[in-house]
């Protein structure tokens, strides 16, 4: 390939990456606009998830992992953006996906789906399946089509430690969900702990130290 063609190809892939997620200011604006439409604790939960994703990614990067802390922060900020459509359950995942896809932010859209399914199993969703059968099938097909990367895994972890008033221990947060919803699938519980260990092995320290909470 000639130099010019290589430059065009490099620019093309850079452009594609840039438009797959919004910049930080745009992400903040989308979250604020979404919250204005449907005020609730989900905005502060999203900001906590963004903080955790950024700090964990910074530590991962420091240890030589190929990860962008700002991108992780943006993805954490927007993972629940589907809640802009109202007080919903499973619908918030596909609503967020459709919304961000309509804006062209493919990677951020995907996180709206993957953050709720560490096991890629729609049946592990804790809460009402308030979407049509067609949308549920679309969700299943999309999940199966994704090859999860560390951004997907990181936001899954951060979602499981993000409380509206700040990061919590993973056990505390999962217990909170269990108490509110009445149950918590054991396999999902175990998978979240596995995710925590996965990132701790890469970071060489505990998640709690990095995000600023005391370990149990
Ligand atoms: Fe969330």
Give the integer Cα–Cα distance in Å for 213 and 192. 17
| Cα 15 to ligand 1 centre (Å) | 28
pTM over 0.85: yes
Fold of the domain spanning 16-211: Hypothetical protein af1432 (1.10.3210)
- How confident is the model at residue 126, as a pLDDT? 86
Q: How far is the C-alpha of 21 from the C-alpha of 51, rounded, in Å?
A: 17
Nearest to 69 by CA among 56, 79, 80: 56
pLDDT, one tens digit for every residue, the chain (216 residues): 454 545 545 555 555 555 699 999 999 999 999 999 999 999 999 999 999 999 999 999 999 999 999 999 999 999 999 999 999 999 999 999 999 999 999 999 999 999 999 999 998 888 889 999 999 999 999 999 999 999 999 999 999 999 999 999 999 889 988 898 888 889 999 999 999 999 999 999 999 999 987 644
Kindly give the distance from the C-alpha atom of residue 6 to the centroid of ligand 1, in angstroms, as a whole number.
40
């Amino acid at each position: 390939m000639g130099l010019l063609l290589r430059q065009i190809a490099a620019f093309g892939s850079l452009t594609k990456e840039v438009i797959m997620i919004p910049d930080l200011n745009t992400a903040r604006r989308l979250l604020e606009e979404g919250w204005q439409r449907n005020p609730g604790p989900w905005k502060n939960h999203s900001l906590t998830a963004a903080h955790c994703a950024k700090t964990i990614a910074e530590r991962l990067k420091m240890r030589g992992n190929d990860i962008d802390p700002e991108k992780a922060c943006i993805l954490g900020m927007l993972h629940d953006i589907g809640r802009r459509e109202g007080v919903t359950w499973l619908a918030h995942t596909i609503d967020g996906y459709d919304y961000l896809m309509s804006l062209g932010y493919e990677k951020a859209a995907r996180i709206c789906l993957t953050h709720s399914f560490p096991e890629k199993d729609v049946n592990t969703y804790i809460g009402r399946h308030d979407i049509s059968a067609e949308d549920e099938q679309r969700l299943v097909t999309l999940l199966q089509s994704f090859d999860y990367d560390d951004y997907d895994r990181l936001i899954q972890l951060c979602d499981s430690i993000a409380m509206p008033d700040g990061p919590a221990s993973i056990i505390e947060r999962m217990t909170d969900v269990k108490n509110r919803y009445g149950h918590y699938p054991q396999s999902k519980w175990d998978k979240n702990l596995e995710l925590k260990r996965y990132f701790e092995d890469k970071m060489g320290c505990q998640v709690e130290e990095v995000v600023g909470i005391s370990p149990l």
